[in-house]
């Protein structure tokens, strides 16, 4: 098995991030530092260590949905000392998130120790929908909605089109539903910034057929069999 795949399947990080860890000489195989991409290992015999801890493949898989509150980072340890989503979940397994939400965004995020599953779910070619509820200051024109539906141009680059639907307007704010596929870095925020709108609240409410539902902020629960199967079918 390739070393990066082993590390990803063991829940260390995404394969791309694991490649970076290898290049940074942070991985050891049988006591020796490995720095070459494409290194293969015997996952049944070789001893792999990262940050002084032996890495092993999980014997059972965990799939959790969490309602991430605003003010939590989606990293195992934050260099700025901020709270992380892993402080909210009690689990003996080494978990990582399937995609991320930025610090000021709340809502649905999936945590697992199944690296192969996570890599496939995150791959753009599967086009799994992500739905957000966005509350902005003031009103929005139909012409501005049309721009986002066609694809906003940010720094000379056209972003992927989004499905945008008006939900309601009250107390000087407008609430919208935004559905995207690719999930580029800060895509939803950048879309609204590009048309001069200020976001008051950004919350992800759905990934594929998995919905946030009535899960309270900071709470989590195992994915149901139906929810898990819906993501597997989407692959």
- The set of catalytic residues is 102
Strands 63-68 and 106-112: antiparallel
The whole-angstrom separation of Cα 40 and Cα 164 is: 45
Q: What distances in angstroms separate CA 221 from CA 11, 91, 111, 179, 225, one per listed residue? A: 19, 11, 10, 24, 12
User: Max Cα separation, the chain?
Assistant: 63
- Each as own residue / partner, the long-range contacts of residues 143-150 (CB below 8 Å, 24 or more positions apart, any chain) are 144/195, 144/197, 145/176, 147/195, 148/178, 148/191, 148/195
Nearest to 124 by CA among 170, 180, 45: 180
- C-alpha dihedral sign at 36, 42, 46, 49: positive
Q: Residue 33: exposed, middle, or buried by beta-carbon count in 10 A (0-12, 13-18, 19+)?
A: exposed
């Amino acid at each position: 098995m390739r070393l990066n795949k082993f590390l990803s399947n063991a829940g260390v990080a995404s394969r791309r991030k694991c490649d970076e860890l290898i290049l940074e000489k942070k991985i050891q195989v049988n006591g020796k530092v490995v720095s070459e991409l494409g290194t293969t290992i015997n996952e049944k015999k070789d001893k792999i260590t990262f940050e002084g801890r032996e890495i092993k493949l999980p014997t059972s898989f965990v799939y959790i949905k969490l309602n991430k509150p605003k003010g939590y980072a989606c990293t195992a340890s934050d260099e700025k000392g901020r709270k992380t989503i892993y402080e909210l979940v009690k689990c003996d397994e080494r978990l990582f998130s399937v995609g991320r939400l930025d610090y000021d965004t709340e809502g649905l995020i999936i945590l697992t120790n199944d690296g192969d599953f996570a890599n496939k779910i995150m791959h753009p070619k599967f086009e799994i929908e992500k739905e957000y509820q966005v509350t902005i200051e003031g009103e929005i024109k139909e012409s501005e909605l049309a721009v986002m539906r066609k694809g906003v141009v940010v720094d000379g680059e056209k972003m992927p089109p989004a499905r945008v639907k008006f939900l309601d307007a009250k107390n000087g704010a407008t609430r919208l539903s935004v559905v995207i596929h690719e999930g580029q870095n800060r895509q939803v925020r950048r879309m609204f910034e590009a048309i001069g709108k200020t976001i008051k609240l950004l919350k992800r409410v759905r990934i594929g057929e998995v919905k946030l539902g009535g899960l309270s902020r900071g709470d989590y629960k195992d994915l149901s069999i139906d929810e898990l199967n819906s993501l597997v079918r989407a692959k």
